Structure 1
Amino acid sequence: MQELLSRLHLSQGVITSLVNIGIAIAILLIGLWLAARVANFARRAMRRANVDETLSGFLRNVINGVLVAMLIVMALQQAGVPSAPLVAALGAGGLAIGLALQGSLSNLAWGVLLIVFRPFRVGDFITAGGVDGTVESVSLMYTLLVMADNREAVVPNAKIGSDAIINFNRRGTRRIELRVNIDYKADMGRAMEVIRELYAADARILRDPEPGVWTEGLGESAVVLVLRAHVRSSDVWGTQTDLVRGVKERFGAEGISIPLTRRQLTTVEGHLPDQAA
């Protein structure tokens, strides 16, 4: 009789374990389906909120991963596996992985911040991480810049985030600044008037802020004029080139000389270095 009861008790225990395992599997399967639905819903919501596609995809995967991890713990607990050692093991594993991937995680964190706060956009010309270039793409780990000579620079996001970022296109306009030397004998008033005429003749030069020309100082052999004018970012190099050319041609036509720096080297007899025999 006791043997029969023992067998029945054992059978009930096996049945209970099988039922718990079945429930755990059901929790896992249904939970995986729900986790994917929730993650996809969150991604669609972020798209409607105009969140960057790269960031929304990353956050979708994070949400899905967290939900799946919670489901695994719940399923194992339902199956009778103690959850405390599992959670401790996951925590220790996560710490080890975090220490091993410290640099990559730093790039990832800065990538998220760059995408969220957008200090620059694709197409902007920037200085970042010590590199000058046009932004071609921004990913979670690195930013791709195309340099002026058409080379590509892959700059880690952590390097960009830890240094100053200079955006040349963010405000839509840039200032041209040139320095021109004129001879002390030249008519300084006429020289400044010629430069203002060049400003007025070029439609690319903006009137607000107003362009100007000032005397910066007195050099060794010339008066130094400084020219400042604002243009659209796309017109910087063309306008600057034409302005330099216009100053040279108009000054030549007006007889306003641009002095050359001359240095005279003299040798004092008796102080030459000894020559080898």
Structure 2
Amino acid sequence: MEMTEAEVIVADVTTWFQDYHELIVEIGLKALFALLIFLIGTYVAGVVRRQTDKRLKSRGVDPAVSGFVAKIIQITIVGAVLVATLNEIGVETTSLVAVLGAAGLAIGLALKDSLSNFSSGVMIIVLKPFRSGDFIEASGIVGVVKTIELFSTKLVTPDNKVIILPNSTVYASEITNYSALPTRRVDIVVGISYESDMRDAKSVIMTALKANDFVLNEPEPVVAVSELADSSVNLVVRPWVNTADYWMARFAIIEDVKRALDDNDITIPFPQMDVHFDKG
């Protein structure tokens, strides 16, 4: 009895499946194992990253450093998982590594700026010119360090703007860390009129400083004559305060000094110029 076209197709498919079913099962199992390796490996990498970050922070490591190290570990584990996944599905990883090495060289040349940012990030982590939470100035930007990431450093400015700087720019620039030491000196210049008594002015200002709660007793504040200017005798006022209180202390000190001078009738002069006319 002659078979129909549909029966012929079914018979061909059945024969093909019987010939290759072992191969299909083998490929399916390899694909399944490879998928399991990838999913489990990436999950483990995430867990290791979180646990590493948590353990480092619990030991007092700077949050920016702990996050950076944990991210590097995660990337390393994911890379190993990818190699194991490819090996499971039959890809020759030895030759693949050689190809990736050559490709990595080409990519490295193309992405030299990114690699420079990465290496600068490593140097920042190792040398620790600043930590997360420090108030710094770098590349002309002033702000609090929020995070140090693989390729960039994130700062939050005093007016609550987020500035993201490339690590290479930060590391290559002059860095001022205002939070590195526990105390800071407030530098203020106060001008008094030439008619006012300098000794009285210095005494009044010193009394105001010692009455201010922000001013530290040690080191002792300094009030001294710094310049005989065109319209005023300039006094430098240099008290020491805790670093965390710097700006509030500065504002309070300026206000207290002004009040003290006003209360003692010591004049802060305006710039003046005498003009003489020749009648001739």
Common fold: TM-score over 0.5:
yes
| Aligned 1:140-159 pairs, distance under 5 A | 140-159=150-169
Which residue of structure 1 lines up, in the alignment, with residue 67 of structure 2? 54
Distance 2:153 2:255 in 1: 37
Gap regions ≥5 residues in structure 1: 1-20, 270-277
Distance 1:92 1:32 in 2: 25
SS at match of 1:208: coil
Which residue of structure 2 lines up, in the alignment, with residue 15 of structure 1? none
Provide, for residues 140-160 of structure 1, a one-character-per-residue CA deviation record: whole Å limited to 9, x for no partner: 222222222322211112211
| Aligned 1:1-277 pairs, distance under 5 A | 48-50=55-57, 52=63, 53-65=66-78, 67-68=80-81, 83=94, 86-264=96-274
Distance 2:91 2:143 in 1: 58
Provide, for residues 180-201 of structure 1, a one-character-per-residue CA deviation record: whole Å limited to 9, x for no partner: 1122232111111111101111
Residues 208, 118 of structure 1: CA spacing in aligned structure 2 closer, same or farther, 3 A cutoff? same
Judge conservation of contact 1:40–1:60 (CA < 8 Å) in 2. Answer: no
Q: For residue 63 of structure 1, what is the amino acid of its counterpart?
A: T
Distance 2:91 2:190 in 1: 84
Distance 2:93 2:111 in 1: 29
SS at match of 1:224: strand
Which 4+ residue blocks in structure 1 deviate beyond 4 angstroms? Answer: 27-47, 49-52, 68-76, 79-84, 264-269
RMSD: 3.8
Residues 32, 176 of structure 1: CA spacing in aligned structure 2 closer, same or farther, 3 A cutoff? same
Point out the more displaced range, 210-219 or 87-96. 87-96
Residues 176, 103 of structure 1: CA spacing in aligned structure 2 closer, same or farther, 3 A cutoff? same
Distance 2:105 2:152 in 1: 24
Q: How many residues of Structure 1 are paired with residues of Structure 2 in the alignment?
A: 250
Judge conservation of contact 1:126–1:168 (CA < 8 Å) in 2. Answer: yes
Point out the more displaced range, 202-211 or 33-42. 33-42
Residues 150, 28 of structure 1: CA spacing in aligned structure 2 closer, same or farther, 3 A cutoff? closer
Residues 173, 122 of structure 1: CA spacing in aligned structure 2 closer, same or farther, 3 A cutoff? same
Distance 1:201 1:46 in 2: 46
Residues 223, 82 of structure 1: CA spacing in aligned structure 2 closer, same or farther, 3 A cutoff? closer
Q: For residue 248 of structure 1, what is the amino acid of its counterpart?
A: K
SS at match of 1:243: helix
Which residue of structure 2 lines up, in the alignment, with residue 11 of structure 1? none
Residues 57, 243 of structure 1: CA spacing in aligned structure 2 closer, same or farther, 3 A cutoff? closer
Which residue of structure 1 lines up, in the alignment, with residue 11 of structure 2? none
Point out the more displaced range, 156-165 or 45-54. 45-54
Deviation at 1:46, TM superposition (A): 7.2
Q: For residue 105 of structure 1, what is the amino acid of its counterpart?
A: L
Judge conservation of contact 2:224–2:235 (CA < 8 Å) in 1. Answer: yes
SS at match of 1:250: helix
SS at match of 2:239: strand
Judge conservation of contact 1:172–1:232 (CA < 8 Å) in 2. Answer: yes
Distance 1:250 1:240 in 2: 15
Identical-residue share of aligned pairs (%): 34
Residues 267, 70 of structure 1: CA spacing in aligned structure 2 closer, same or farther, 3 A cutoff? farther
Gap regions ≥5 residues in structure 2: 1-26
